[in-house]
Amino acid sequence: MIRVTWTGAAGLQFETGQQTILIDPYHTRVGIFHTLTRVILPDEAAISTHLPDMEQIDAIVVSHTHSDHALDVPYIAGHCDCTVVGSASLNTLMELNGLPNRVRVCSGGETVPLGESAAVTMVPTAHGLVAMGKVPFPGEIGTDSCLPMRASGYRVGTVFAPKLVIHGKTFIHVGSANFIDAEMAGHTCDVLFLCVPGWKKRQGYPRRLIERVRPQTVVLFHHDDFSKPHIKGTRTRSLPFTDIKGMVKTIERNFPELRVMVPDVYDTLEF
């Protein structure tokens, strides 16, 4: 049994009883005004509350280096001897935090073993056009950057759709509402996690992507308002104008055989 917890934004926590693997862990949830006007820092108390056993984490995989995907990663990685997989920008971010040589740097297409029973393939993809039809904060995190920095310093870097295989079960994580059709060719999965915001801005998303990877289950995530704290057990406050219901109807109309799930933050799904 594989337990997958949506931890907010694009964060997923995979647990098998023998392994804990994180993708895009983000618990800090910086307020929108703070994000726009000040430097940002990991909320160590929030991270420790939600990850009380950081030393037990086996791997962290990062899809791209915007702050809501990568801000908390150096703090978490600094508290465990885990494998870290991501882009050159993530490597730079780790070095700026005094953690050199910790990242298995990928440019796209690499498969990285994560212990005896898991591996991740870093499938190249594209970021959603969510900022007035453009990718926010394009480019790489600069080696001349100084911490702490504003959200604008957390450049997107190379963008991946990690394909995680655990005990023979395959999961694809699409942390931004976009994809590269040719790069997805040949990749299939049992469970597809799909970012919701911006889903109408990419032609063929999600229909063409689902046709490519042929999942049995689709899980819609990254629709929460991650600029506000979330209390476990409460209903998730979604970002405005996401039209989750419309996305669900679109998927169900085109793929009536699929199971479509819309969890709340901190819900745990079993596969």
pLDDT tens digits along 243-267: 999 999 999 999 999 999 999 999 9
Type of residue found at 6: W
- Is pLDDT above 90 for 109? yes
So what's the pLDDT on residue 136? 93
3-8, strands of its sheet edge to edge: 103-105, 83-86, 59-61, 20-23, 11-15, 3-8, 268-270
Q: Alpha-carbon distance 240 to 52, whole Å? A: 31
Type of residue found at 210: I
**Per-residue pLDDT reduced to its tens digit, 16-33:** 999 999 999 999 999 888
How would you classify the pairing of strands 160-166 and 169-174?
Answer: antiparallel
Domains of the chain: 3-270 (3.60.15.10)
**Per-residue pLDDT reduced to its tens digit, 157-179:** 999 999 999 999 999 999 999 99
DSSP secondary structure, 91-158, as one string: HHHHHHTT-TT-EEE-SSS-EEE-SSSEEEEEEE-----TBTTB-SS-S---TT--SSEEGGGS---S
**Per-residue pLDDT reduced to its tens digit, 183-227:** 999 999 999 999 999 999 999 999 999 999 999 999 999 999 999
So what's the pLDDT on residue 33? 81
Q: How many CB atoms lie within 10 A of CB 253?
A: 9
Using CB atoms within 10 A of its CB, is residue 146 exposed (0-12), middle (13-18) or buried (19+)? exposed
Nearest 5°: the CA angle 193, 198, 203 is 90
Q: Alpha-carbon distance 247 to 252, whole Å? A: 9
Q: Alpha-carbon distance 34 to 213, whole Å? A: 38
Q: Is the pTM of the predicted complex or chain greater than 0.85?
A: yes
